[in-house]
């Protein structure tokens, strides 16, 4: 089985711009979660999608949003970028989202905001 893929791998944006990141989960996985990883805050949960519905959300401002398509692929959008949004954004998929179980992570998208 192919693993979780994320595109793009690297991205440079300027403050005020918006960005869309993409994640393709492992075939058959219906739950997709997004995380932000920074040296200061560590790995923080953004949100989780299951069957095209956002089921769980972390403590991030409304500038962070996402969606999931019928084929389970997911996108994450950050609007009005701030310097502090520079981070590694990780996507993870799992078979179900009923409880926190083994997750398969993608390689991440490294976002730099200038």
Partner 1 sequence: SQQGEEDPQALSIQEGENATMNCSYKTSINNLQWYRQNSGRGLVHLILIRSNEREKHSGRLRVTLDTSKKSSSLLITASRAADTASYFCATGASGGSYIPTFGRGTSLIVHP
Binding-site ranges for partner 1 (CB under 8 A): 4, 33, 35, 42-45, 48, 55-56, 58, 88, 90, 92, 97-108, 110
Which lies closer to partner 1 via its Cβ, residue 81 or residue 108?
108
Shortest Å distance, C-beta 42 to partner 1 = 4
Cite the beta strand spans of 40-86 per DSSP E: 42-50, 53-57, 64-68, 74-78
Q: How far, in Å, CA of 77 to CA of 22, rounded? A: 9
**Phi–psi pair at 83, nearest 5 degrees:** -55, -35
Which lies closer to partner 1 via its Cβ, residue 16 or residue 84?
84
Shortest Å distance, C-beta 51 to partner 1 = 14
CA 84 vs CA 7, 10, 25, 40: distances in Å? 21, 16, 27, 10
Shortest Å distance, C-beta 84 to partner 1 = 18
């Amino acid at each position: 089985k192919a693993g979780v893929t994320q595109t793009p791998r690297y991205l440079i944006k300027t403050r005020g711009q918006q960005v869309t990141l993409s994640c393709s989960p492992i075939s058959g996985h219906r739950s997709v979660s997004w995380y932000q990883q920074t040296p200061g805050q560590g790995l923080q949960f953004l949100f989780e999608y299951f069957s095209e519905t956002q089921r769980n959300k972390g403590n991030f401002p409304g500038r962070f949003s996402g969606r999931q398509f019928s084929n389970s692929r997911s996108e994450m959008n950050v609007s009005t970028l701030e310097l502090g949004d520079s981070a590694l954004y990780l996507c993870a998929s799992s078979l179900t989202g009923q409880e926190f179980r083994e997750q398969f992570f993608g390689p991440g998208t490294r976002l730099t905001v200038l």
